[in-house]
Chains A and B, each alone.
Chain A
Amino acid sequence: MSAPAPLARRIALQGGYETMCMLRNGEQLILAIVLPLLALVGLAVTPLLDPLTSPGTGRVDIATPGVLALCAMSTAFTGQGIATGFDRRYGVLRFLSTTPLGRTGLIAGKAVAVAVVLGLQVLVISAVALLMGWSPSPAGIAVAILLLALGAAAFTALGLLVAGTVRPEATLAITNLLWILLAAGGGIVIPPEALPGQLAGLVQLLPSGALGEALRSALLAGQFNFTAFLVLAGWTVLSGVAAVRWFKWS
């Protein structure tokens, strides 16, 4: 009699498979690695962040936490959102949910892939930033890793919410457009205090601004930004519940 492979093996297999799909996709690689690297270098060589620098805190120190936050948004929201939208269109979600993997295993596999790709992004960005003179606050590193995981969860839930409710072409447009808008003015790479007055308060309530601010607090000053953490946790719960409620498998 046929039997399923153990749950952990099914999830690990699907996670590995989805990771390879993401790494083999050229557009995804540009979004995941090339654009964040360009943002890092761009912010380090231009005077855009100069109003926020101080003795001992250079451009790259302010830029790097935001670029790490941008990586989470690239992979979890835009990358996984688009991939899931097209999987849904082609019936891949339906087919895989008839195998022992099931719907839960499928979502868990996607989460594994996001975590692995984000881990690789963090290694690449951190290595380049360290070469450029980045000196993160050692006290904030553990907190920053936890915040990145929470940010990835919030953006994965948001990406799946979009992918599971509209056509894949619309998912492609929405997640790319939001990525550009939030990267430019969402408080993620450019801190809210460097944005025009009215925007500053608003962006701190966005998942992008909250993740950017929380990572900057941790890696610049070694502090735990409780307000930003609460905002991010709120987005994770709300979009998670909404995705479970409204996600359409076909």
Chain B
Amino acid sequence: MLRSNRSDPPCLNIDGLVKDFGPLPSLEGKMVRVLDGVALQAYRGQVTALLGANGAGKTTTIECAQGLLSRDGGTVSLLGEDPARATSSLRARVGVMLQDGGLPPAARPLALLRHIAGMYSRPADIDALVARLGIGSFAGTPVRRLSGGQKQRLAMAAALAGDPEVLFLDEPSAGLDPQSRAIVFDLVRELRDEGLGIVLTTHLLDDAQRLADYVYIVDAGRTVTHGTVPDLINATRPTESGRVLTFEAVPGLDVASIVPGHLSAVETRPGSYTVTGPLAAADLAVLAQAWDAAGVMPTALQLSPRSLEDVFLEVSGKELP
């Protein structure tokens, strides 16, 4: 199957999803509404990312989609069925990687994968999966002795053991060293190209920017905006310009007084400066003259269009960690 055809029926369709937790002692016995009308569609052959800060409701959303949590309102359709009443046939078509792994500490990776594969009538080729995810070097080591990256790769293999059509990944890059991250990300793209519908959550803009074909930004229990990464970045609001200049130099420059009046400038960290506004070539000349007059030479200089981070800040008013 080829990529990104959003006119096909979605493999996951969530509408008006509501979830209440509680009553909670920390809220004087009151209920708290953690999801308040989440809507999203995920398609085969695409990576769909739920992007949001911790506590935004990403994990709760996909746990309702997996049938691990019951919902208090709205509809969820996973491969045309309601996951709240999942049958073993539906579960056989869906692979799940939980945020905490869910692997028994005493188990040995290869034996565990073979055990899980036994639950399916046509499981994945476990030897190929072990080779692909580099599990061979720790195939006999108890789970409790594995590094974070090794555990995460094993959890990914466990999610794929049944050769699923839909794959859920909850914070897939959590705890990953750069090498594990490259292996996992390559495999996600390859599976996407083979036609799997992949739904992941992440609080990292970089993950979303590098992996996702389609992004839903989740904030305070709602999906606040969605689109492809380029769509989201290019959807410039009429009142704002799409350019950002960042530079690094000695700390403590009075940057607000040296930029032209139609731009705004702040020192975000000591020695890091951000200039925003309708930047023109002439503004760069003004800045360069001011640096020259102050005897300052920037050590780094970058001019960029809006980032996904700007979009995120704009829609949620919050910063990601």
Interface residues, chain A, with chain B CB atoms under 8 Å away: 1-7, 9-10, 13, 17, 21, 24-25, 86-87, 90-92, 94-102, 105, 249-250
Contacts and interface: CB of A to CB of B under 8 A. Distances in A.
Interface centre among A25, A90, A102, A249 (most CB of B within 10 A): A90
B94 interface: yes
Given A90-B102, A95-B98, A13 B122 contact: no
A4 B120 contact: yes
Contacts of B118: 5, 9-10, 13
A7 B88 contact: yes
A94 to B, nearest CB: 5
Please classify the interface of chain B as helix (H, G, I), strand (E, B), loop, or mixed, using the class held by over half of its residues.
loop
B163 A2 contact: yes
A249 B119 CA distance: 20
Contact of B164 (A2, A6, A86, A101): A2
A209 to B, nearest CB: 34
Contact of B106 (A3, A5, A21, A96): A21
A2 B162 contact: yes
Nearest to A101: B119
B156 interface: no
Interface residues of B, number: 32
B82 to A, nearest CB: 15
Contact of A3 (B101, B105, B120): B120
B103 A98 contact: no
B119 A91 contact: no
Contacts of B93: 1-2
Given A5-B119, A99-B92, A100-B88, 7 more contacts: A4-B120, A90-B102, A90-B105, A98-B67, A98-B98, A102-B86, A249-B68
B230 to A, nearest CB: 33
Contacts of B96: 95, 98
A27 to B, nearest CB: 12
Contacts of B164: 2
Given A87-B104, A92-B102, A94-B98, A4 B68 contact: no
A53 B284 CA distance: 104
Contacts of B94: 98
A250 B66 CA distance: 14
A100 B102 contact: no
B115 A100 contact: no
Contacts of A96: 102
B165 interface: yes
B121 interface: yes
A6 B119 CA distance: 8
A99 B104 contact: no
A5 B67 CA distance: 20
A102 B87 CA distance: 8
Contact of A94 (B88, B92, B102, B165): B102
B47 interface: no
B96 to A, nearest CB: 4
Nearest to A21: B106
B179 interface: no
Nearest to B89: A4
Nearest to A102: B88
A10 B117 CA distance: 10
B116 to A, nearest CB: 6
A95 B120 contact: no
B34 interface: no
B119 A2 contact: no
A185 to B, nearest CB: 33
A102 to B, nearest CB: 6
B68 A3 contact: no
A63 to B, nearest CB: 34
B217 interface: no
A25 B104 CA distance: 13
A50 B197 CA distance: 71
Given A98-B68, A102-B88, A2 B106 contact: no
B186 interface: no
Given A2-B164, A4-B92, A95-B98, A100 B119 contact: yes
B190 interface: no
Contacts of A97: 68
Given A2-B122, A3-B122, A5-B119, A95 B158 contact: yes
Contacts of B122: 2-3
A95 B119 contact: no
Contacts of A102: 86, 88, 91
Nearest to A9: B118
B100 interface: yes
Given A4-B120, A5-B120, A95 B103 contact: yes
A95 B181 CA distance: 22
A100 B68 contact: no
A87 B89 CA distance: 24
12 contacts: A2-B163, A3-B89, A3-B122, A4-B91, A5-B118, A5-B119, A5-B120, A95-B98, A97-B68, A98-B67, A100-B91, A102-B86
